[in-house]
Chain A
Amino acid sequence: METVTATEGADPVLLRFEEVSKVYPLPAGDVIALDRVSLTVERGEFIAIMGPSGSGKTTLLNLIGCLDVPSSGRLVINSRDVAELSDDELTFLRRDTIGFIFQHFNLIPLLSVLENVEYPLILKCRDRAGCGQTPQMALRAAGLDDERLYTHKPNELSGGQQQRVAIARALVNDPSLLLCDEPTGNLDQKTGKAIMDLLTEMNRNGKTIIMVTHDLGVAGYATRQIQIVDGRIMEDTG
């Protein structure tokens, strides 16, 4: 499984879409969520993906995050064609090299704040001590300093706090790629700015960040903006 990440650093190209389409077959007719998209992302980029609702942004992010595979075309991540990877290999890729920050936080309600952040660490390292990183470190890095909150369940936290927990969880395994689906969508401006500053810092520290947003101001933090309409890339500043 480690072979998937072994080539990291050697090749500046992190991932490449070649004529990738994603079709959802529905009874009422197929939905073409992505239509022959071609795109190259290099390591260390900070990309904002924008576009109207239903244009295919989340679908694109899910493909990059190995949560889904293309209907047609080639998607190469870390020099490996995802079509050739098994479900387990895709899972290992997600677990070890990709951090997800979802629009709706998607924390696990059964687990406390600390356990939510610790969970991917346990999956990856088995032995909690062996990872170097601790959930506390990740939570502090995500700006959640108040340790009294760590034993709370996610639903006892504010939206901004939950988003920070979600960010800490995405960071804890020190992924090389951060995927964010509207990371500030549910937050007030002040908290949103704090989160964006945090992401900017992560990017400076070498992480590749791909972020979906509706907000032009938020998109301004990124170094490259991509516009999607009806499953096609309309504009790409990169």
Chain B
Amino acid sequence: MAQTIETHTGETLQRPLGLRGVAADLSSDQRAFKNISWGKAMMWIFLLSDTFIFGCFLVAYMTARMSTTIAWPNPSEVFALTIGGHEIPLILIAIMTFVLISSSGTMAMAVNFGYRRDRRTTAIMMLLTAVLGATFVGMQAFEWSKLISEGVRPWENPWGAAQFGSTFFMITGFHGTHVTIGVIFLLIVARKVWRGDFDTERRGFFTSRKGNYEVVEITGLYWHFVDLVWVFIFAFFYLW
């Protein structure tokens, strides 16, 4: 007599529709995220982890700002520039933000042209993104030197709570480092695009894996993330 014994509780491999289909995809064999390459998955997860780093920095900043006993300097005065005799609050930072957001635009275009296998335009767009990024870092250096010349130090400043300088230099510095690393990566990838590495699937130096245009998109993910973080830093430091 035939007797049937269930020894396994896993799903069948046909994919149902709707939400159940999403769940089935996620828990299916081989890949949880279909059509997402290893590199891209890795970048997403790295960015998640990095979000926690920036999150902790910003929470630390908020705690410091809320719990200091001495008054916090007024951002619209501290971050003002005198142009043609007028004090314009937040002007530099507005330009910086504009530059960085624009660079996200050029980056998105680079990704698009990359998938169209338009080598030249992709490389140009990436270079443009890198230039905008470098401009941002340059303006940040200018802002830092201005503040330093006015007597702001990590451990003290002329206007109020010492934590102002500490958190400002630490967090914008950490973000600026991210931008700088991004610029370097943009240049490296742009060079590869230009040389046609991704058309010939030339192997990367570090990973010895075949290159393809997705690398442009992965670089782009990082770049957009750095921009997004800036929006938060901007809001918390300059608008609060």
Q: Do A and B bind each other?
A: no
